[in-house]
Chains A and B, each alone.
Chain A
Amino acid sequence: MNDILKYLPYKSSFLFVDNITALDENGVTGNHTLKPDAFFYEDHFPDNPVTPGVIITEVMAQIGLVVLGIYLMLDGKPHEGAVMHADSFPLLTSTNVDFFKMVLPGEKVTVNSKKQYFRFGKLKCLVEMHNADGDLVAKGVFSGIIKNAVKL
């Protein structure tokens, strides 16, 4: 199931997907462990590192929209040699997120996304994030588009 990760266009400091544990045409579940040495903790905040809401949002978008979006565009059948087109990338078009709990460095979070629709190249999902204790961390509706994402 982690085969899908090779299609993600993110690298190193901005890749926020570790494992995909469930994936089908209706939704996805995956997780990420926040690296304690991630670049944003030094300044957010000095001596008091907390994961920025914008990073939480990004984790939810990468797992909940981008992984599922690529899966849908590949028709559920990853092809050998298929790669992200050099001049295309996923774009977030709207989010509406509520945050319930802080996420600290080193925490593992699990993201669950349910498809609301995928039409005309736009994917809209209800996305939830839980921490290792199973507490709801964040919840929201996410939408995004990917154009020409896969070159065969």
Chain B
Amino acid sequence: MDRKEILIELKKVLTPYTENKEMLDGINEQTDLIKDLKINSANLVDIIIDAEAQYNIEIDFDAAEKMYNVGNCIDVISEKINKPA
């Protein structure tokens, strides 16, 4: 799965959590989950859990800490799916 495909899937994961649906249509790797998409910071945990189910991966604390913008999320997800635990 390349970064573009991950981004398309990630958009679906983010949809229920963002207050800013218009912004979601135009997200790119620089989009910040909290500042741009107005996601409740506590819901980042739900996004991580949903992403784990979506990609069948496990995200640990260190990886989760890096996931504050779309590019970082794709980094973590692509690293995990290409290197199964």
Interface on A for B, CB 8 Å cutoff? 93-94, 117, 119-122, 124, 143-145
Binds A, one of B20-28, B30-38, B40-48: B40-48
- Interchain CB contact under 8 A, B40 and A94: yes
Residues on A with C-beta less than 8 A from B45 are: 119-122
Can you list 21 A-B pairs with a CB-CB distance of less than 8 A? A93-B40, A93-B42, A93-B43, A94-B40, A94-B42, A94-B43, A117-B49, A119-B45, A119-B48, A119-B49, A120-B45, A120-B48, A120-B61, A120-B64, A121-B45, A122-B42, A122-B45, A124-B46, A143-B42, A144-B42, A145-B42
Nearest-Cβ distance from residue B58 to partner chain A, whole angstroms: 11
- Main SS of chain A's interface residues? strand
- Main SS of chain B's interface residues? helix
Residues on B with C-beta less than 8 A from A120 are: 45, 48, 61, 64
CA distance A93 to B45 in the complex (A): 11
Q: In the complex, given contacts A119-B49, A120-B48, what are 9 additional A-B residue pairs having Cβ atoms less than 8 angstroms apart?
A: A93-B43, A94-B40, A117-B49, A119-B48, A121-B45, A122-B42, A122-B45, A143-B42, A144-B42
Residues on A with C-beta less than 8 A from B64 are: 120
A-B pair count, CB < 8 Å, reads: 21
Residues on B with C-beta less than 8 A from A124 are: 46
Nearest-Cβ distance from residue A85 to partner chain B, whole angstroms: 19
Chain B residue at minimal CB-CB distance from A119 = B45
Nearest-Cβ distance from residue B51 to partner chain A, whole angstroms: 12
Residue from the set B43, B45, B49 with the largest chain A CB neighbour count within 10 Å? B45
Interfacial residues of chain B within 42-85, with CB under 8 A of chain A in the complex: 42-43, 45-46, 48-49, 61, 64
CA distance A122 to B45 in the complex (A): 7
CA distance A143 to B49 in the complex (A): 14
Residues on B with C-beta less than 8 A from A93 are: 40, 42-43
Nearest-Cβ distance from residue B48 to partner chain A, whole angstroms: 7
